[in-house]
């Protein structure tokens, strides 16, 4: 049995696999205790990751609602300021941040404008750890990094210390076209960029909620970073979500949702909530993780976080 984010796989280097195991073991038992999914796939409206990172910059009072005394203050927000990207004007940039060779702490997509861009990762910097920031200009839009197809990657290492206070950790990057990290080839079309794969989630057994909207997000168990979020209309008892680069390989990842029965866009006690955990999927080739969830009416996560608190914008560390 593997631990949270402890991916021992053909797709990870030994150093990264060992590091991920050390960082993630603290939440494994709780997540596995509540993990589970099953049933047949139904189809609904597709939804994908928005340009900006989904979720709010949570205050400490918000943290106290997620895991109670287990609220984790090891993380700071991460601010990325990019310049020198004029050659990629108007193009999409996919970014990944991770704590050294350990787990992914944030992903997102933005657009180059006037040769620059900025990006905000809530709780994207792990105090006192060397932070890797990698990005992909996917010129042909196929989701992988392939220099022969005109794609460009970049990579920097920052941090490695514990700043005083709680201000966001700021990093400046330029279009450096670095194609390899310290332990792996970054721009390899046979490997998922930044260890991120697509995630497909189907809902089954939701017939009691036909015609209503389900709102769903998926987040890492490390720092609560949201890798994908969206909404879909329930039809014939089911629905479907597709999150490009919404799943970290070899990681147990939380899936949280609510059926918006009153249609106000906010999760309340009157709505129906649910929770599940992905498998630690690690294919030998680039392939999406397919997962089915059922109408289980769970009200809290494995870390005792209230589902509505999370769904209403409280992006939190474990």
pLDDT digits (tens, 9 = 90+) for 206-239: 999 999 999 999 999 888 899 999 999 999 999 9
- Torsion over CA of 223, 15, 8 and 146, rounded to 10 degrees? 80
- Show the domains of the chain with their CATH numbers: 27-53+195-311 (2.60.40), 74-193 (2.60.40)
Percentage of the residues of the chain whose pLDDT score is greater than 90:
55
User: Quick one: tokens of 53?
Assistant: 């990172």
Cα–Cα distances (Å) from 70 to 227, 241, 260, in that order, read 22, 31, 29
- Token readout for 236 is 């014939």
Reported as a single tens digit per residue, the pLDDT across 263-290 is 999 999 999 999 999 998 888 789 999 9
Going across the sheet that includes 169-174, the strands are 117-126, 75-83, 169-174
Per-residue pLDDT, 141: 87
| pLDDT score of 248 | 94
Q: What is the pTM of this model?
A: 0.80
Beta strands 239-248 and 196-204 are antiparallel
């Amino acid at each position: 049995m593997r631990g949270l984010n402890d991916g021992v796989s053909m797709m990870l280097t030994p150093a990264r696999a060992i590091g991920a195991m050390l960082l993630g073991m603290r939440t494994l038992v709780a997540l596995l205790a509540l993990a589970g999914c099953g049933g047949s796939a139904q189809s609904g409206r597709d939804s994908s990751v928005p340009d900006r990172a989904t979720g709010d910059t949570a205050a400490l009072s918000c943290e106290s609602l997620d895991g109670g005394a287990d609220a984790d203050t090891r993380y700071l927000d991460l601010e990325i300021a990019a310049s020198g990207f004029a050659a990629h004007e108007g193009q999409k940039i996919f970014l990944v941040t991770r704590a050294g060779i350990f787990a992914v702490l944030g992903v997102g997509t933005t657009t180059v404008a006037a040769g620059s861009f900025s990006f905000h990762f809530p709780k994207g910097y792990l105090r006192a750890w060397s932070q890797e920031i990698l990005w992909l200009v996917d010129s042909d839009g196929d989701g992988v990094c392939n220099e022969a197809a005109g794609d460009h990657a970049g990579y920097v290492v920052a941090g490695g210390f514990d700043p005083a206070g709680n201000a966001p950790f700021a990093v400046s990057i330029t279009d450096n076209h670095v194609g390899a990290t310290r332990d792996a080839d970054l721009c390899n079309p046979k490997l998922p960029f930044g260890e991120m794969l697509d995630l497909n989630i189907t809902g089954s057994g939701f017939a009691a909620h036909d015609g209503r909207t389900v709102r769903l997000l998926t987040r890492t168990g490390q720092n609560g970073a949201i890798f994908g979020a969206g909404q879909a209309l329930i039809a014939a008892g089911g629905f479907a979500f597709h999150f490009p680069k919404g799943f970290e390989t070899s990681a147990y990842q939380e899936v949280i949702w609510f059926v918006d029965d009153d249609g106000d866009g906010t999760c309340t006690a009157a709505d129906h909530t649910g929770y599940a955990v992905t498998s630690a999927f690690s294919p030998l080739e680039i392939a999406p993780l397919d997962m089915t969830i059922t109408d289980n009416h769970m009200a809290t996560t494995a870390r005792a976080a209230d589902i509505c608190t999370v769904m209403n914008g409280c992006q939190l560390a474990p």
